[in-house]
Amino acid sequence: MTREEIIRQVNAAFVDQFEIAAGQLTEEKKLFDDLGLDSLDIVDLLVALHKTFGIALRNNEEVRKVRTLGEVYDFLEKYAREHPEEIRSVK
Amino acid sequence: MGVWSTGYFILALLPFLFAFCLPKWHRRALLRWIILGWGIVVTRLGVWPFIRLTVSGEKPVRKPSIYVFNHRSGSDAFLVSAMHRPMIQAVNGWPMRLPVLGFVAKQAGYLDITNLSYEQALAEVREHLEHGVSVIDFPEGHRSASKELLPFQSGAFRMARDLGVDLYPGVITGNEENPTRHFRLKCGRIHFHLLPPISANAAQAFPSAFAFKQHVRNLMAEACAEHEVYP
């Protein structure tokens, strides 16, 4: 899965789940400060990513360190590289 | 204000003591009425004619619901008495640690959400709603001390969806510096406006609690602009 594909699908999840305008979704945006998510919303985000990519992230330690949208893409790109058999495009 | 409050405390002393002879939910109900009465005395008589409060919008109903307000100053906790209905408030830890007031708030069932997980808070709120008690939340989490509407926490919106209850947004304007962070009062006007409720069904129609909270935040931002006392 390419980075572009990951970006497209993560952004689609943000638009569908959180109704955030696609134009706002840039790599430097902070999930809490810029996009307005809180810790409970992050759980919804992980559920949305589970639905999109088929991976369960709730107990993943590394995903807890993610602060920006770019870091979400980086995390998933790395995850796809390390676990190509697990990550898939569900949609 | 001090004279009115002292007078009210003297009047309320007997009912206050009587409340502790009652079973838990009756005690809580009586204490909520006493707190409501104090709020009305302070906001209507205590500061009159130096600060004038005007009220507009919806009238709250008996049906237990969740109410969310913007949070510009410490007076918001008193100004919600403009609804003339006894309710409980979800508060950060520090008001609960105030001498006397914190004790009374705790006994009346006010929720210290800083010490509760979402599931625990949900269970507490469900119990209050089942006993016919509405819950007030300030989703900004802390005072803005300005006209700015801070980012919202999603807890109250998530609860409205999870519990299937109506949510009333409301705005309070003009009190951004009343009192100041050092609890000094200034002469001026304050306006309280309650928006139409958002039904449980309408809340469920949003794809997430986040989308719901952002929608309500936009409504409240518009209402703040429309009802701003000092534009």
Query: Are residues A18 and B209, on separate chains, in Cβ contact within 8 Å?
Result: no
Residues B73-91: tens digit of each pLDDT: 999 999 999 999 999 999 9
The DSSP H or E segment spanning B63 is: none
Is the pLDDT reported for residue A89 higher than 70? no
Instruction: Look at chain A and count its residues.
Output: 91
Beta pairing, strands B66-69 & B51-57: unpaired
Q: Which residue out of A24, A35, A40 would a mutagenesis test of the B interface target, given it has the greatest number of B Cβ atoms within 10 Å?
A: A40
| Domain A3-82 in this protein, CATH class | mainly alpha
Asked if the C-beta of B152 comes within 8 angstroms of chain A's C-beta atoms, the answer is yes
CA–CA gap between residue B1 and residue B16 (Å, rounded): 20
Residues of chain A neighbouring B214 (CB-CB closer than 8 A)? 18-19, 36
Q: Which residue out of B158, B210, B217 would a mutagenesis test of the A interface target, given it has the greatest number of A Cβ atoms within 10 Å?
A: B210
- The full set of domains in chain B, from first to last, is 50-227 (3.40.1130.10)
pLDDT of residue B94: 85
In chain B, which stretches have pLDDT less than 70?
Answer: none
User: B160 vs A37, B154, B200, CA distance in Å?
Assistant: 18, 10, 7
∠ CA B126-B221-A13 to the nearest 5 degrees?
A: 70
Query: Are residues A19 and B207, on separate chains, in Cβ contact within 8 Å?
Result: yes
Buried b (16+ CB within 10 A) or exposed e, B9-32: eeebeeeeeebeeeeeeebbbbbb
Q: Report ipTM for this prediction.
A: 0.88
The DSSP H or E segment spanning B106 is: helix B101-108
Residues A12-56: tens digit of each pLDDT: 999 999 999 999 999 999 999 999 999 999 999 999 999 999 998
Q: What are the residue ranges spanned by the domains of chain A?
A: 3-82
Whether residue B31 contacts residue B89, with contact meaning beta carbons closer than 8 Å, is answered with no
pLDDT of residue B89: 97
pLDDT of residue B17: 95
pLDDT of residue A23: 95
pLDDT of residue B189: 95
Residues of chain A neighbouring B208 (CB-CB closer than 8 A)? 17-19, 41, 44
Is the pLDDT reported for residue A91 higher than 60? no
Q: What percent of chain A has pLDDT over 90?
A: 74
For residue A5, what are the contacts with CB-CB under 8 A and spacing of at least 6? A89
For residue B189, what are the contacts with CB-CB under 8 A and spacing of at least 6? B51, B52, B53, B54, B174, B229
pLDDT of residue B204: 97
pLDDT of residue A90: 53
Average pLDDT over residues A66-76: 96
